Amino acid sequence: MKLPGLPGTVANVILLAARDSWKFVELSGRGGIRREYTPPADVMETIRQVATKQLAATIPAQTLPAVKPQTTIAHTEAQSLTGDARKGVLDALNAIMQRTGYPLKRAAKHLISLAQKEEASPQLIAMLKLARDGRGRSSPDGMPSDRSLTRFVAYQKSGELVPKKREKDMNVPAWAESFLGHYQKPEKPTVEHAYRQFAKMYQDDLPSVHQVRRFLDKVGNVSRQIGRMGDRELKTIKKFVRRDFSKLLPSDIYSADGHTFDAEVQHPMHGRPFRPEITSVIDIGTRRLIGWSVDLAESALAVLDALRVAALTGARGNPAVIDYDHQTLWKEKNGQPAPAAGWFKTLEWREGVGLFAIDVEWTPAAALAIETSEYRFISPVINFDANTGRITKLTMAALTNYAGIDGMQQARLAALSPSSGQ
C-alpha cells in the first residue's frame, strides 16, 4: 500500500513490529506458526485513509448509475437522476465502510474530503454534486455535506431517496375576493393601502399582509391588473401570439371589414353626393377578396350581403367579361357585335383606393386601345336593390371614356400584376 512512514518490504515491516513491540497473536497452519500483528492506532488510521482513497478512486464505473451531462431537463427526469446519484453515493459509502471498518459518519467525512481534493474518481465526484439537495445551504464546490450523506441513508430506509417536487398551493383563500375588491381599482392602490381598507371591513380570520403578498405572487400579472388597468393597458401586458396561416385551406376562415368609399357618388334617395360603405370579405388562406357589398351605411345586412357574394364568387367558374362601352347590354337592341376586351375573376379591395380586378386578361386589341389612350376608364355593371339602393352583384365591366364614378384611375395594361390592376 506504500504507507507513509512505514518500510516498503514485508521483512522490514516485521522488523519494525518487533522493534516497536506491536501486539500479535500466533496462529498455526500448514507452513508452521505465523504471527498476526495489530498495528498501533496511528498506523491503523493511515491504513484506513489510504484504503479509502484507493477505493474512492477505483470504484468500477458499472457499479454507479450513469450521470447525464444535462443542464436543462424536465423536473421528473431531474428527480430520477438525483435519486440514482444518491443510490450510487450510498453504494460507494457502503463499500468504504466494509473495506475500512469506518462507521457511517467517519466514512462520509472521508468521502467528502477526498472528493473536495479531487482524489476520488470523476464519476463519483459528479454523483456527489448531483445528489446534493439544492434547497439547502449554498456550497462553493457543489458538494453535499457529510450530514447530507447520513440523511440519504435514512431516506433510503424510508423509500424516499428520490427528492420530492414541492408544488405551490394554488387554492384560492376565502378572503381573496374581498381583498381584490379593494386592490383592483383604477386608482391602483398599493398592497399596504388596499390591505388597510380590507382589514377594516373583513370580519373573519384576518390574514397577514405577507400572506396577501404571497397570494398576489401566485396570481398571473394580467389577472392581477384587471380593474387597475383599462382594456388597452391590459393588451400591452398580454402574451404575444404569432398566428400562422400557412396551413389554412381556401374558405377555412373569412375576414370581413367595412370602409367608406374614397369617392362621392349620387345618393339613390335624395340625389346629393355621398360616400357609400363598402364591405369586403377576404379569404385568409389565399389572401384574396372573394366577396363585397356596397351600402348606404355600415350595417349587419351589408356584411351579410358581402358574405352572400363570397359564397357565389367561390362557386363561379366562368370569368366576368370586360367589353367596350357596355355593348354586351345593347347588342340585342342595336344588333351590333359585342367583342370582349378582357376577362377577370378575382377582385381585391385596396384601402383608400377602391376595388380592383387583379387577374385581368386583356385581348390584343384592348391592350392596344389602352396603350394608345383610345380607352382610359373602366365602368362597372352592377345589380342593386331598387327599394334600398343596395348593390347586390358586380356582373361585368366595360372600357369607356365616360366613367360614371368621378376620380377613377386610368385602366392599365399591367392588370395582370396583383399590385396594379384596375
What confidence tens digit (pLDDT) does each residue in 113-163 have? 888 888 888 888 888 888 887 776 778 888 888 888 888 888 888 888 887
The residue among 393, 413, 317, 406 whose CA lies nearest residue 354 is 406
Residue type for position 274: F
Instruction: Please state the rounded mean pLDDT for residues 186-207.
Output: 93
Question: String of b and e for 59-95 (b: at least 16 CB within 10 Å)?
Answer: beeeebbebeeeeeeeeeebeebbbbbbbbbbebbeb
E strands, 233-308, where?
254-260, 265-266, 273-274, 277-283, 288-295
Instruction: Please state the rounded mean pLDDT for residues 416-422.
Output: 34
| Contact indicator for 228, 184 with CB cutoff of 8 Å | yes
Q: Which of left, alpha, beta for 281 (phi over 0: left; psi -120 to 50: alpha)?
A: beta
> Which residue would you say has higher pLDDT here, 412 or 233?
233
pLDDT digits (tens, 9 = 90+) for 66-89: 444 433 334 467 788 888 888 888
pLDDT at 192: 95
**pLDDT surpassing 50 at residue 62:** no
Residue 2 belongs to some domain of the structure: no
Mean pLDDT of the chain: 81
pLDDT at 243: 79
Residues 411 and 275 in one domain: yes
Q: How many residues does the chain have?
A: 422
Residue 171 belongs to some domain of the structure: no
Grid coordinates of 40: 498501533
Residue 168 belongs to some domain of the structure: no
Residues 210 and 355 in one domain: no
> Which residue would you say has higher pLDDT here, 398 or 168?
398
Task: Give the span between the Cα atoms of 408 and 181, in whole angstroms.
Answer: 58
Q: Give me the domain span that covers residue 408.
A: 254-416
pLDDT digits (tens, 9 = 90+) for 375-413: 988 888 887 777 777 777 778 899 998 776 666 677 766
pLDDT at 74: 40
pLDDT at 196: 94
Distance, CA of 155 to chain centre: 37
DSSP 48-65: HHHHHHHHHHH--GGGS-
Residue type for position 199: A
Rg (CA), the chain: 45
pLDDT at 419: 33
Which of these ranges, 53-57, 103-107, 224-228, 330-334, has the smallest mean pLDDT?
53-57
pLDDT at 367: 92
Residues 106 and 146 in one domain: yes
**pLDDT surpassing 50 at residue 64:** no
Residues 374 and 228 in one domain: no
Residues 407 and 265 in one domain: yes
Residue 249 belongs to some domain of the structure: no
pLDDT at 63: 47
pLDDT at 176: 93
**pLDDT surpassing 70 at residue 56:** no
**pLDDT surpassing 60 at residue 297:** yes
Instruction: Please state the rounded mean pLDDT for residues 31-37.
Output: 74
Distance, CA of 19 to chain centre: 77
Residues 145 and 211 in one domain: no
Handedness of CA 168, 170, 174, 179 (dihedral sign): positive
Residues 131 and 214 in one domain: no
Residues 280 and 412 in one domain: yes
pLDDT at 393: 72
E strands, 189-286, where?
254-260, 265-266, 273-274, 277-283
Taking the model in full, what pTM does it have?
Answer: 0.34
pLDDT at 1: 54
Boundary-marking domain end, from 187, 209, 237: 237
Residue 73 belongs to some domain of the structure: yes
pLDDT at 395: 82
Task: Give the span between the Cα atoms of 278 and 347, in whole angstroms.
Answer: 13
pLDDT at 422: 36
Residue 34 belongs to some domain of the structure: no
**pLDDT surpassing 90 at residue 359:** no
Long-range contacts of range 140-148, CB-CB < 8 Å, 24 or more positions apart?
141/116, 143/112, 143/115, 143/116, 144/112, 145/112, 146/105, 146/108, 146/109, 146/111, 146/112
**pLDDT surpassing 60 at residue 30:** yes
Boundary-marking domain end, from 203, 237, 271: 237
Q: Quote the Cα angle for 87-134-150, to 5°.
A: 45
Residue 162 belongs to some domain of the structure: no
pLDDT at 5: 66
Number of domains making up the chain? 3
pLDDT at 60: 52
Local structure of residue 415 (DSSP, 8 states): G
Residues 387 and 288 in one domain: yes
Task: Give the span between the Cα atoms of 217 and 348, in whole angstroms.
Answer: 50
Residue 294 belongs to some domain of the structure: yes
Domain CATH number, residue 209: 1.10.10
Task: Using pLDDT thresholds of 50, 70 and 90, give the confidence band for residue 190.
Answer: very high
pLDDT at 314: 58
Instruction: Please state the rounded mean pLDDT for residues 200-229.
Output: 92
**CB atoms near residue 114 (< 10 Å):** 22
pLDDT at 73: 39
Task: Give the span between the Cα atoms of 337 and 331, in whole angstroms.
Answer: 6
Give 296: exposed, middle or buried? Use CB within 10 Å, 0-12, 13-18, 19+. Answer: middle
Phi and psi at residue 347, to the nearest 5°: -110, 150
Residues 324 and 406 in one domain: yes
Residues 298 and 407 in one domain: yes
Residues 148 and 180 in one domain: no
Which of these ranges, 33-47, 138-152, 170-184, 376-390, has the smallest mean pLDDT?
33-47
